[in-house]
Amino acid sequence: MKDITIKITGKQCFDDVEEDQMEFITDGRLYEKNGFCYLIYDESEISGLEGLKTTLKFDDKSLKMKRIGSNGPGTELYFEEGKRFSSVYDTPMGPMEIEVLTRSVKNLMDKESSKGKIDIEYDVSLGGVAEGKNKLIIDVM
């Protein structure tokens, strides 16, 4: 397991509203097992998810995000190009149904240096009400 620094940038655009961006930097751990890479980090007050631990499991074409905490079952999202995934997403305002349609997953990680980035572009529908286009950029430094 290797200690790393992660910069996570999330961009959202709902309906005709301008793009909203969130960015934070945190420490985490990286390791490889059975052909998958794993990034593990603790969420912070900045992300609005303080007290949760996030695990990202990824390979060249997909990424699975799992968040767990002491106050509930947590959340799981799956991103694979061209695939649709439905789940329940725990938010500070309570659980919401979420549907994700992944447009692209680009894994630009260098296993030798344990540095690089993962870019994910996806459409999201929250509770069938809010729909938008999102981009998630994970920089491993």
- pLDDT per residue over 118-128, tens digit each? 999 999 887 77
Tokens coding 5: 């620094």
The answer to whether the beta carbons of residues 99 and 124 sit under 8 Å apart is yes
pTM equals: 0.84
Inform me whether the pLDDT recorded for 47 exceeds 80. no
Q: Which residues of 75-106 are buried (b: 16+ CB within 10 A; e: fewer)?
A: bebbbbeeeebeeebbeeeeebebbbebeebe
User: Tell me, what's the pLDDT at 54?
Assistant: 92
Q: Residue 68 and residue 120: Cα distance in Å, rounded?
A: 21
Which of 124, 36, 85 is closest to 76 using CA atoms?
Answer: 85
| Domains parsed from the chain with CATH numbers | 2-140 (2.40.128.20)
The residue that leads in pLDDT, 129 or 106, is 106
Q: Say if residue 40 is exposed, middle or buried (CB neighbours under 10 Å; 0-12, 13-18, 19+).
A: middle
Q: Please give the average per-residue pLDDT across 28-40, as a whole number.
A: 94
Tokens coding 47: 């992300």
User: Tell me, what's the pLDDT at 127?
Assistant: 74
What confidence tens digit (pLDDT) does each residue in 48-98 have? Answer: 566 789 999 999 999 999 988 766 557 899 999 999 999 987 666 778 888
> DSSP state, 59?
-
Query: How sure is the predictor about 16, in pLDDT bands with cuts at 50, 70 and 90?
Result: low
108: which strand partners?
Answer: 117
Inform me whether the pLDDT recorded for 15 exceeds 70. no
Range of lowest pLDDT (16-20, 54-58, 99-103): 16-20
User: Tell me, what's the pLDDT at 132?
Assistant: 85
The answer to whether the beta carbons of residues 65 and 42 sit under 8 Å apart is no
Inform me whether the pLDDT recorded for 139 exceeds 90. yes
User: Tell me, what's the pLDDT at 80?
Assistant: 97
